[in-house]
Amino acid sequence: MATTVGVLSKKSYGLKDEAISHSLDSMNSVDFVSATDHHDEIPTVDYSLLFSDDHVERANALEHLGKACQEFGFFYLVNGVAESVVEGALKGISDFFHLTKQEERSEYLKKSSKDRIRWGLRSHAGENREFLKVVAHPQYHCPSKPADFRDAIGEYYKRFHEVELGLAKAISKILGYEETYIEKEFKLEAGFDVSAMNLYPPSFHSKGSIGVPDHTDPGLFVSLIQDVNGGLQVLSHNGKWISVNIPRNAIFINLGDHLEILTNGKYKSHIHQVILDNNEVRRISMATLHGPSLDAFVAPAPEFVDESHPPAYRGVTYKESLELNGYDEIDVQSSIAQLRISI
């Protein structure tokens, strides 16, 4: 499996196919490509145009989002959250990892399955990162130190929750339903959102090339911001690893397992990984998993099931899906392989 990525550069703010979804062994033969290759160039969606007063402009933007969701499953989002808010959040994360002592951070080591703040340090061949996980919604949890950390992260969550609801409305419309369709199905006002704030070491300090191993994520979608570009790779529909190089002022969006389940596979949740090989400096990122309410029952919706497309997944509550493999809710681990129905 190729793992080469371009040398990381400073930023101002920092599908799978069915065969691949059934077996990760096939990834050993996939090729790595740059996202600059024409057919694999990651689309950019302008959030503001999705709600334009110009009907033609809005229709074109929705069509573009629809293609991004179905033909890629991931995209860059611009004009969603103000750059200053994103920069403030990334500074807050950087301050947390640098202005607090490890003894203070270790206060948040796992204590119980009911944790809403959790810290961890992984340093081995399969995973290399320090992380802080917090529940962002429906109730916001965050360490009180350092100063301004809680407010900076909270402001980002507040602004992006508005974007989350907006994207849910837009995706509902391009699927052909009323704009509150996904919001109601997933009970998003009480949606369970978890952020993983990550500190990745430079490659010369790492004990392996993998920052985070290949996986998919549960939920509606995942949003990612980072202070240094590069590292993330996503496996495309055609089985190629694409290097994610987020444009200035953009947020990376990757569709989640439960949107795949709801649409009965029309939209795909993509395998992705973090590579450290060319990580010349430390890198800060925050990946937020935007999920349904814990009590939302998610199964293929009747609108996406017919004789030609029988249900491809069994339905369970979001909470049950997060705990299916023995993990806690805050771990937000994928269970889509166990939920898939063999046909």
- Residue 343 maps to a domain: no
- Residue 2 maps to a domain: no
Assess whether pLDDT exceeds 50 at residue 15. no
- Residue 24 maps to a domain: no
pLDDT in tens, 111-158: 999 999 999 999 998 999 999 999 999 999 999 999 999 999 999 999
Percent of the chain residues past pLDDT 90, beyond the cut: 81
Q: Tell me how far apart the alpha carbons of residues 17 and 107 are, in angstroms, rounded to a whole number.
A: 42
Domain region containing 228:
44-324
Predicted TM-score (pTM) of this structure: 0.89
DSSP per-residue string spanning 134-187: EEEESS------STTHHHHHHHHHHHHHHHHHHHHHHHHHHTTS-TTHHHHHHT
**pLDDT (0 to 100) of residue 206:** 82
Closest C-alpha among 76, 5, 72 to residue 34: 5
- Residue 85 maps to a domain: yes
Question: What CATH number does residue 318 fall under?
Answer: 2.60.120.330
- Residue 1 maps to a domain: no
CA distances from 200 to 78, 104, 121, 145, 232 (A): 25, 19, 10, 21, 11
Tokens at residue 327, please? 């993990």
According to DSSP, residue 14 is labeled -
Residue bearing tokens 């740059």: 34
- Residue 15 maps to a domain: no
**pLDDT (0 to 100) of residue 298:** 98
**E strands, 227-321, in order:** 232-235, 240-243, 250-255, 272-275, 283-290, 297-298, 316-317
- Residue 333 maps to a domain: no
- Residue 259 maps to a domain: yes
Contacts of 106 (CB under 8 A, 6+ apart): 119
Which range has the worst mean pLDDT, 90-94, 159-163, 201-205, 228-232?
A: 201-205
In the chain, the number of structural domains is 1
CA dihedral 139, 145, 146, 149 (to 10 degrees): 0
DSSP per-residue string spanning 230-255: --EEEE-TTSEEEE--PPTTEEEEEE
Q: Tell me how far apart the alpha carbons of residues 195 and 134 are, in angstroms, rounded to a whole number.
A: 5
Q: Tell me how far apart the alpha carbons of residues 117 and 7 are, in angstroms, rounded to a whole number.
A: 33
pLDDT in tens, 295-336: 999 999 999 999 999 999 999 999 999 999 999 999 999 999
